[in-house]
Structure 1
């Protein structure tokens, strides 16, 4: 038996039909479909409807469909949900939906529906041999609604955006991780170079004077350094930038100088023995600006 007929049959038997998200159909309790006079009369006014979009489930109806169709309860519930989704689609686009043997609904505003009673069809109740037939997809709604079944099933709209967002987040994390590793490596190299530079200062041996007795003019040997210019800028901007670099891993090596109190130069001094090309590339990647060498004598 078609699901539409099972809904009418349930209403005729129980005098009440609750449809989740839509409302409740009521049949006048005084109506007796076993009475011969009732079978041949149009009792449209005996059916009424109350809008109630807050209805969430109808366990007794699902159980009834399961028993009559011979399907498992889970499948019966799925069939009912699919049928009600189609009903909602029609109502949401202001199209009337007809329930066989019950009547027609049309939406008048969100959550409220106008009901036009139809004629009771006692034959629906009098055909027990069809109750055990397995429900098919085509039997879920009347034939005039079959064209809508050919459209793809409604899928959850949030899945694709969430998947795309996760992919973008993964790419972003990969780029950020690569940049962080590169920045840390560059900073560590610069700090290491600075420490090596400080440790190469030669301290003159004071005992040499005592041993020879001659006055020897000794000069402290200083290694030859390259000045790596990080940025040249003005006034408060230079001071702000200098403070930012002091809070980074360049804190131990960054320096600031000016000749005219207008232009300020941010730089670091590193030994010439190091790989200058690699250091320039590392500093440029760390600062996001082109770094160059200003040679020192």
Structure 2
């Protein structure tokens, strides 16, 4: 976010310092100053001060010198500088793949051949330099610059306190909701009373050859009834269910996993192919409660979809 004039919250706002320069212009100046420019996936440019040469081989990663150069001359954070470079490389590589030419002022023109390599045609040298582009005031991301104005320290402290308090209340509410759900999901067993046998069931028809004592017959009947197995109705089978709140690539999954762990969550992570990682909770629940727990997790963790396994 860019705010004209005075920045009240320097932690979140950045004042424009440098002239608006395109990435390709900065790449040209970087090549002139460092004599070598490698763009991963495209190739490597070199110069001896006169003409520019090109090699299809390139570094696998962006050089730190190039990242620092873009960061310095744009006033952006390192992550934004890397993002700008990666976007520039990705878009122009797509253009090259569909037959478009990549023209870089002061360097030359690249086209893709039928063999899959890039053919380079050197261009004219640009005499404009960046040495005169000096900052008029320190950047908000410069570690040597003051982070905020002294007059607004109290206001910022209040804002930070309110943010921390809000996060704490949300965390406490989530913990309380989870605890309530866990207690609700415990199965309850209902004892079923055993009804007394009816009098008619005790009537015994005497055998024509054997006459039994009625008292013994009643005693035997009571014994047989007491030995009948009792089945408890209303018991609910409970097991542990896997509630998958997110499936993501390795980088995103690790960041989300660390974030939830620092919040004290019992999050788990697994992968079967080292490409897609699953973040999930292992919770005890009955089959009838899985839908309610799934909806609660989806709402609280802002998940697009929660999968129950």
Q: Structure 1 length normalisation: TM-score?
A: 0.38
Structure that is richer in helix per residue: 1
Give the TM-score, by structure 2 length: 0.37
Answer with 1 or 2: which has the greater Rg: 1
